[in-house]
Structure 1
Amino acid sequence: MHTISGHHHISMITKNAQLNNQFYQKVLGLRRVKKTVNQDDPSMYHLFYGDLTGSAGTELSFFEMPIAGRTVRGTNAITQIGLLVPSFESLEYWQRRFELLDVRHGEITSYAGRDALHFEDFEGLRMILINNNGEEVPEKWSEWQDSIVEPKHRILGMGTVEITVRYLERLAKTLKDTFGYVEVTRSETEAIFQSKAGQSFGEIVVKQQEGPSEKPGKGSIHHLAIRVKDENELRYWDEVIKERGFQSTGIVDRFYFQSLYFRESNGILIEIATDGPGFTADSTVEELGGKLDLPPFLEEKRSEIEAKLVPLD
């Protein structure tokens, strides 16, 4: 049986790779697991942060676009990212940490039925720390021991992702009927779906909101990638989404994983990505994120690519 096993990664836009690098490593304590370039536009950095090896489900990825303007918030967009932390005590730790480091944040509250702490990065990207409260996490997630954050409060990986759309039922139909997500709750303007019942590492909150679509810029979310095991499963899903009337890019080899892209009926860009081979395809675990890694098809252009990039620590 073919199933979606959770989130794979989520990709955002940053205007400044240096500040982005500082925030996600030195404030959030994530590991930079890959410093590479956008394979479709090698003039821009593509940075990945996550756990020890950048396991599927822990990856936050950023395209650096120095010309990016501000995000004008609206509907038909991925609007918030949940990050799981071990306990309620962890939320209190992070609240104190955010106050100390002058990170914009709210009070501890609840979100999708769990204790939560809303905050924003330096570009206004909206995120939520969520109390995992001892719930299961994917077995391949591995803690990075060199994180600057206290071990018992470190971020585990991705949790609930929020998507805001004009037509909730259209996205609900895609999640349930196409991908087999379980509908957990539903109100007139909001619904919660899980790829694995009871677990937040594959959870999506869908909110219905009328009005103009979001205008993307710095701190906006480009796409959500959902997770499948291997290329055989990816080929299966490629056929399924075509049968449902969506236009697929077909399978794209990203070297670190294979994937395909499509837009659901509200225009949200969704990627389906394989677990492997992973970021150790061209690096040892110890070396991850240290140097500029390029997929083989770009290696011959390394000098040209490096000349256009501002050096990044």
Structure 2
Amino acid sequence: MYNIPGHHHISMITKSANENNHFYKQVLGLRRVKITVNQDDPSMYHLFYGDRTGSPGTELTFFEIPQVGNTHPGTNAITRIGLLVPSEDSLQYWKARFEEFGVAHGDITSYANRPAMKFEDPDGLRLVLLVSNGEKVKHWETWDKSDVPAEHQIQGMGSVEMTVRRLDKMASTLTDMFGYTEVSRSEREAIFQSINGEVFGEIVVKYMDGPSEKPGRGSIHHLAIRVKNEEELKYWDEKVKQRGFHSSGIVDRFYFKSLYFRESNGILFEIATDGPGFTVDGEVEHLGEKLDLPPFLEERRAEIEAKLSPIEEK
């Protein structure tokens, strides 16, 4: 059986590409590694942020939908994203930085048994900084042009929180199908790790009854988990189908190949290959500087560009 080495990326909805770009580049100090479009609806931007090359496990991605309404919080949704920082000193650095930039944030506290600080982006997306204690995606690379000092830079994704009505159903999918380890359990919460002891594949599942979340600005569309290559992806496609879930089948996203399915609570998962990555159509030094389109959309470039508003660099 293949194992899941951790998170690949996570995708959200933003109302404004300009605000989003400013926050994740200038405030959080991440590198914008790709400007492209939603391949299923090329009229909207798809922005990717991460480490120097947008390594799997560091990617935060956003679909811009200017007309989107507000999120109505509820259950059966992905409800918070953990981002790793190196130390408790880093939390102090980020607290001061958030106050300087007027970012909504809480006190330094704990989350999933780690020192932590919750905060929100301009769309109201719920995030939390977590102290990594040396745990990070092994291929993470410092972005030397970041406004954030290297010793405090965000090192990729940590715990991802999901809130569901049927915790046991989610637990069964993660442990029985994907081989995650359940590392803790209480009446209303369980924590799972794709690699035991490592936070970069950790999922925190919380029980909550009530109406399902109605997505809007700042909501999380899906979590993508990692596989090495297409051979492994084909294996998981069969496992998903055997489990009784509907699989999208393998989709070629040019930068990676993937498949999508919804588990029993309705949470959307993507399973994505590590490669070929964002350097397949660009040099590392110039990632994220211009609009990149996969080959099958290139002939529509003029039409696509005409519908997109330029992103202002502040």
TM (norm. structure 1) is: 0.99
- Residue in structure 2 matched with residue 263 of structure 1 by the alignment: 262
- Residue in structure 2 matched with residue 249 of structure 1 by the alignment: 248
Contact 2:137 2:156 in 1 (8 A): no
Instruction: Name the CA distance, whole Å, in 2 between partners of 1:55 and 1:134.
Output: 17
- Residue in structure 2 matched with residue 27 of structure 1 by the alignment: 27
Instruction: Name the CA distance, whole Å, in 2 between partners of 1:139 and 1:164.
Output: 28
- Residue in structure 1 matched with residue 195 of structure 2 by the alignment: 196
Instruction: Name the CA distance, whole Å, in 2 between partners of 1:170 and 1:246.
Output: 13
Q: How does 1:174-193 map to 2 (within 5 A)?
A: 174-193=173-192
- Residue in structure 1 matched with residue 105 of structure 2 by the alignment: 105
Q: How far did 1:38 drift? A: 0.1
Paired amino acid for 1:266? N
Tell me the SS of whatever aligns to 1:32.
Answer: strand
Instruction: Name the CA distance, whole Å, in 1 between partners of 2:98 and 2:64.
Output: 24
* 2:310 maps to 1:311: yes
Q: How far did 1:100 drift? A: 1.0
- Residue in structure 2 matched with residue 288 of structure 1 by the alignment: 287
Instruction: Name the CA distance, whole Å, in 1 between partners of 2:172 and 2:67.
Output: 36
* 2:68 maps to 1:79: no
- Residue in structure 2 matched with residue 125 of structure 1 by the alignment: 125
Q: How far did 1:309 drift? A: 0.2
- Residue in structure 1 matched with residue 222 of structure 2 by the alignment: 223
User: Unaligned regions of 5+ residues in structure 2, if any?
Assistant: none
Q: How does 1:27-46 map to 2 (within 5 A)?
A: 27-46=27-46
Instruction: Name the CA distance, whole Å, in 2 between partners of 1:132 and 1:140.
Output: 15
- Residue in structure 2 matched with residue 153 of structure 1 by the alignment: 152
Q: How far did 1:143 drift? A: 1.1
- Residue in structure 2 matched with residue 65 of structure 1 by the alignment: 65
- Residue in structure 1 matched with residue 276 of structure 2 by the alignment: 277
User: How many residues get paired?
Assistant: 312
Give the percent of matched residue pairs that are identical in Structure 1 and Structure 2: 70
Computed over aligned residues only, the root mean square deviation of the Cα atoms, in angstroms, reads: 0.6
- Residue in structure 2 matched with residue 166 of structure 1 by the alignment: 165
- Residue in structure 2 matched with residue 134 of structure 1 by the alignment: 134
Instruction: Name the CA distance, whole Å, in 1 between partners of 2:18 and 2:308.
Output: 12
Q: How far did 1:150 drift? A: 1.4
Q: How far did 1:138 drift? A: 2.5
Contact 2:137 2:155 in 1 (8 A): no
Tell me the SS of whatever aligns to 1:286.
Answer: helix
Instruction: Name the CA distance, whole Å, in 2 between partners of 1:259 and 1:44.
Output: 20
Deviations 1:142-192 (A, max 9, x none): 111110011110100000000000000000000000000000000111000
Q: How does 1:8-23 map to 2 (within 5 A)?
A: 8-23=8-23
Instruction: Name the CA distance, whole Å, in 2 between partners of 1:147 and 1:229.
Output: 29
Paired amino acid for 1:107? D
Q: How far did 1:112 drift? A: 0.5
- Residue in structure 2 matched with residue 213 of structure 1 by the alignment: 212
- Residue in structure 2 matched with residue 54 of structure 1 by the alignment: 54
Paired amino acid for 1:30? L
Q: How far did 1:41 drift? A: 0.0
Q: How far did 1:139 drift? A: 2.2
Instruction: Name the CA distance, whole Å, in 2 between partners of 1:54 and 1:134.
Output: 20
Q: How far did 1:306 drift? A: 0.1
Deviations 1:259-294 (A, max 9, x none): 000000000000000000000010000110000000
- Residue in structure 1 matched with residue 238 of structure 2 by the alignment: 239
Task: Detail structure 1 runs of 4+ shifted over 6 Å in the superposition.
Answer: none
